[in-house]
Structure 1
Amino acid sequence: MAGTTHTDVNAAKAASGNAVTKKYTGPLITVTMLFFMWGFITCLNDILIPKLQQVFTLELWQAMLIQTAFFGAYFFISLLYFIMSITKGDPIRKIGYKNGIIVGLVIAAVGCALFYPAADLHSYGFFLGALFILASGITVLQIAANPYVTILGPPESAASRLNMTQALNSLGTTVAPIIGGYLIFGAVNAESAGADSVKLPYLGLAATLLAIAVLIKIAKLPSIQSEDDITPDAGALRYRHLVLGIVCIFAYVGGEVAIGSTLINFFRLPEIAGLDETQAGHFLAFYWGGAMVGRFFGAVALSSMKNSTFKYLIIAGIAAVVFVIISSVYSMDEALITLGLIALNFVVLMLGRFIPNRTLGLFAGTVVVLLLITSFATGSVAMWAVIAIGLFNSIMFPTIFTLAIKDLGVHTSQGSSLLVMAIVGGAIIPPLQGAIADATGNLQLSFLVPMVCYLYIMYYGFSGSKVKEPAA
């Protein structure tokens, strides 16, 4: 079972499948809160970029250093974790997933609190440092929580569970542009307030993260940790599908973050939509909302549920709810366009035959086509093409992650740390896209940069994810 230690196996054998499922329902609900919170925090970067670009009069590539600081932390903290695992033994397997989650929450809360002095000092460098600390905490959360979710239940539905928790992550990324856009851009006198408008939102996040840490501490979560000797080694790197998966996570996160970071500026272009920041923030929510809806679809489609008709009914129900919400909150035209994009997503999902690696390859291929439309079309066609990418991004991270840690056994936590380290793609690809946009003066053509990332994801889905015997 991917993500399972000997302790986990013994625990699973001690109970029936129904008992295990019942036992783990509560813990899964509790852990899901974490996915919502780090999704919310991560997507706030898309609001910070235009805000701090305005406050500090930055070029686009300089503003994109926000993502470099944030996702750079993923690389350095995960690298440190990996070095510790091969010299001292796997830290998470020693202290347990629950304690690892608490440590991550506290570090992230400290990073959020540092936004207050950063605004007082009016220092862009201080902001970048605070973001680095914040992301360091989220890195620890990712290393602990992602494999924890795969362990909490039957192995055959691991991809489904991770898609479901990632759907709540996407709920956070969906509401963040709306709430963050109002608090940071839309608040009264936000422009005159300069960087001060970020103080209260991030202090609120710090308090929330600490409250969740207390809740996790007192919650009755399975304290899964190793009872075996933990031998320091780099055994995870012997698995070809993991190594290629590390590159795939790099490509996926880099491509997704580059696109999301550029959307507000993209929607402001006169030849696309000519929106202001607040309006653009609402459409950014469509992009991240698409990822949420697609992950709910993926959770259903990739589940161990045998009745395909029932799966279709659940997916149709989700689509109907989305249609009603958008038609009531926005407009009927936008609801109909969204419903059409959902239908396209479902068709591609059907072509994938609910097989994780095949579905991943087809979704990545669809994104390549959508990025070509984004780069060369104009007006609403280009705008909705880039928004549609969110729907097809949906299953990618949890599916890549699940495929990459499959059959790693005792090396699962170490493999998880390497995959989280690869999230550094979000620090490298966005500034590269920004630099190309600045150099060419053409923001649209810069979307060809993330397109290369999705071409690699296609390869991993169709070929690179196949499990082979580890190298000696």
Structure 2
Amino acid sequence: MAITTINDPITANTNGRRYTPALIALAVLYFMMGFITCLNDTLVPFFKTGFTLNYAESSLVQFYFFLTYAVMSIPAGRIVEKVGYKRGMVFGFAIAGVGALLFFPAALLHQYALFLGALFVLAIGIVLLQVAANPYITLLGRPETASSRLTLIQGVGSIGTTVAPLFGAHFILSRLSESNASSDAVSIPYLAIGGVLFLIALLVSLLSLPKISNHVTRLSSTDGPAQRGIFSFRNLNFGLVGIFMYVGAEVAIGTFLTNYVADRLHIEEHRANNYVAFYWGGMLIGRLIGAMVLKSVKSPIVLRWVGGASVALIVLSIVSSGYVAVWSMVGVGLCNAVMFAIIFSLSIQGLGAYTTRASGLLSSAIVGGAVIPYLQGLLIDRFDWGVSFCLPLICYLYIVYFAIDGFKTKQMNPT
């Protein structure tokens, strides 16, 4: 009988230390990840005007940023396995800082392709942060409260997603009318962001964080999951598609919301961009509420309701006009609040020693943030807003299915 060596479920070894330093570090981490990621929503309309691009071309900002998740998530998972969660976070902040600094030469040369390259490097750091942070949060406490814990920390991070559009509207979009604004207006803000990221990397490296330990045991070949491999977990397979759909829909709405609001309300883009703050601000409120609700209501039930509400709001926005269309689309942000945490937690439920690898795979599914916005951009260019928003609508319909059946942890037959 064959013998296979694998790891037990990962547990947090705090050696009596409190979680406070770790939670503070994770809160700062999520703030910066949210801020940087949502600042892309400002870059899309800014570069669209500055470089005279169509919607599909301007969405390449999101495409190259989120493409990194497909390219780097699995390697990032291996890096985190080797260097640990703390060093993974430090490396992530440092690499993201390098990407932010690359905006300066891109601005000097005034080349859209160079900005996309800088975003790609910046995103490598964000991917490393994401792969290190998500499982670290879920493992710092009881598995039953993992969704609540992850939602709460992401709620703190949502402050960054709310601030980013306001920051972008004031420091970037307001300079659209200036000469060479498409380059000059972004160089100084991103230089400042780069400096902050390097400072955070230094501070995190000096912190004493709880360590995660793996206990190795030996399991026989009759212990199914050891032999069947990571893709034998049904909930993970459906969760990969769920993360792809969710991130794709969330990013697509945020990406085009500025232009959508400007068209619907006939206002300037820097004013329309303020509505993006309400979109991400809704996620902040929703995550704080969700962290409490998930302590008493089963997460699949919550996911069904928020997924169904997202579908209803998008349909309402498509068939209406003016402020009704705008605020119903903005309201999807409130529904988005708990989706990632629930899908992620349900997808890794019961995976044990496969948790870190699964985190890398799930993070690679975030590439939906590259694919869905680009496809929606093509639909906008060829058809109209109504047709284009049917794409995120389909994404949310899948999330409802995942909440009803896809999350169930049945073992799949080995191939």
TM-score by length of 2: 0.92
**Structure 1 residues 117 and 233, CA, compared in 2 at 3 Å: closer, same or farther?**
farther
The alpha-carbon deviation at position 9 of structure 1 amounts to 3.7
The alpha-carbon deviation at position 451 of structure 1 amounts to 0.3
The alpha-carbon deviation at position 357 of structure 1 amounts to 0.8
Q: Do structure 1's residue 456 and structure 2's residue 411 form an aligned pair?
A: no
1:72-125 Cα offsets, whole Å, 9 max, x none, are 01110024446xxxxxxx432232111111111111111111000011111111
| Distance in 2, Cα, partners of 1:223 & 1:203 | 33
| Distance in 2, Cα, partners of 1:99 & 1:230 | 28
- Of the three residues 328, 337, 340, the one matched with 1:397 is 340
**Structure 1 residues 385 and 7, CA, compared in 2 at 3 Å: closer, same or farther?**
closer
The alpha-carbon deviation at position 224 of structure 1 amounts to 1.9
2:322 maps to: 379
The alpha-carbon deviation at position 229 of structure 1 amounts to 8.5
The alpha-carbon deviation at position 456 of structure 1 amounts to 0.4
The alpha-carbon deviation at position 470 of structure 1 amounts to 5.4
Q: Do structure 1's residue 140 and structure 2's residue 140 form an aligned pair?
A: no
The alpha-carbon deviation at position 286 of structure 1 amounts to 0.5
1:303 maps to: 295
**Structure 1 residues 37 and 249, CA, compared in 2 at 3 Å: closer, same or farther?**
same
Give the letter for the 1:246 counterpart.
L
| Distance in 2, Cα, partners of 1:230 & 1:189 | 66
**SS of equivalent residue, structure 1 residue 224:** strand
Q: 2:10 touches 2:352 (CA, 8 Å); kept in 1? A: no
1:59 maps to: 54
**Structure 1 residues 49 and 191, CA, compared in 2 at 3 Å: closer, same or farther?**
farther
Q: How does 1:82-161 map to 2 (within 5 A)?
A: 90-161=78-149
1:447 maps to: 389
Q: 2:65 touches 2:123 (CA, 8 Å); kept in 1? A: yes
Give the letter for the 2:244 counterpart.
F
Moved over 6 A (4+): 229-234
Q: 1:97 touches 1:225 (CA, 8 Å); kept in 2? A: no
1:386-438 Cα offsets, whole Å, 9 max, x none, are 01100001100111111111111111010000000000001000011111111
- Of the three residues 353, 357, 365, the one matched with 1:422 is 365
| Distance in 1, Cα, partners of 2:9 & 2:201 | 25
2:233 maps to: 239
In the alignment of these two chains, the number of paired residues is 403
2:4 maps to: none
The alpha-carbon deviation at position 194 of structure 1 amounts to 3.1
1:23 maps to: 18
Q: 1:93 touches 1:226 (CA, 8 Å); kept in 2? A: no
**Structure 1 residues 118 and 69, CA, compared in 2 at 3 Å: closer, same or farther?**
same
| Distance in 2, Cα, partners of 1:458 & 1:162 | 20
Q: 1:111 touches 1:131 (CA, 8 Å); kept in 2? A: yes
The alpha-carbon deviation at position 26 of structure 1 amounts to 2.8
Q: 2:51 touches 2:182 (CA, 8 Å); kept in 1? A: no
Q: Do structure 1's residue 176 and structure 2's residue 164 form an aligned pair?
A: yes
Q: Do structure 1's residue 388 and structure 2's residue 331 form an aligned pair?
A: yes
Q: 1:185 touches 1:191 (CA, 8 Å); kept in 2? A: no
Give the letter for the 1:378 counterpart.
S
- Of the three residues 54, 67, 75, the one matched with 2:70 is 75
Root-mean-square deviation (CA), in Å? 2.3
The alpha-carbon deviation at position 276 of structure 1 amounts to 1.0
My pick for the range that moved more, 228-237 or 460-469, is 228-237
Give the letter for the 2:337 counterpart.
S
| Distance in 1, Cα, partners of 2:41 & 2:65 | 12
**SS of equivalent residue, structure 1 residue 248:** helix
**Structure 1 residues 92 and 470, CA, compared in 2 at 3 Å: closer, same or farther?**
farther
- Of the three residues 28, 40, 57, the one matched with 1:33 is 28
Q: Do structure 1's residue 292 and structure 2's residue 284 form an aligned pair?
A: yes
**Structure 1 residues 431 and 8, CA, compared in 2 at 3 Å: closer, same or farther?**
closer
Q: 1:376 touches 1:445 (CA, 8 Å); kept in 2? A: no
| Distance in 2, Cα, partners of 1:123 & 1:62 | 14
Q: Do structure 1's residue 413 and structure 2's residue 356 form an aligned pair?
A: yes
Q: 1:241 touches 1:466 (CA, 8 Å); kept in 2? A: yes
- Of the three residues 35, 47, 50, the one matched with 2:45 is 50
| Distance in 2, Cα, partners of 1:108 & 1:29 | 19
The alpha-carbon deviation at position 227 of structure 1 amounts to 5.7
1:469 maps to: 411
1:323 maps to: none
Q: How does 1:230-269 map to 2 (within 5 A)?
A: 235-269=229-263
Q: 1:66 touches 1:131 (CA, 8 Å); kept in 2? A: yes
Q: 2:76 touches 2:131 (CA, 8 Å); kept in 1? A: no
**SS of equivalent residue, structure 1 residue 220:** coil
**SS of equivalent residue, structure 1 residue 467:** coil
**SS of equivalent residue, structure 1 residue 444:** helix
My pick for the range that moved more, 185-194 or 53-62, is 185-194
Give the letter for the 1:117 counterpart.
P
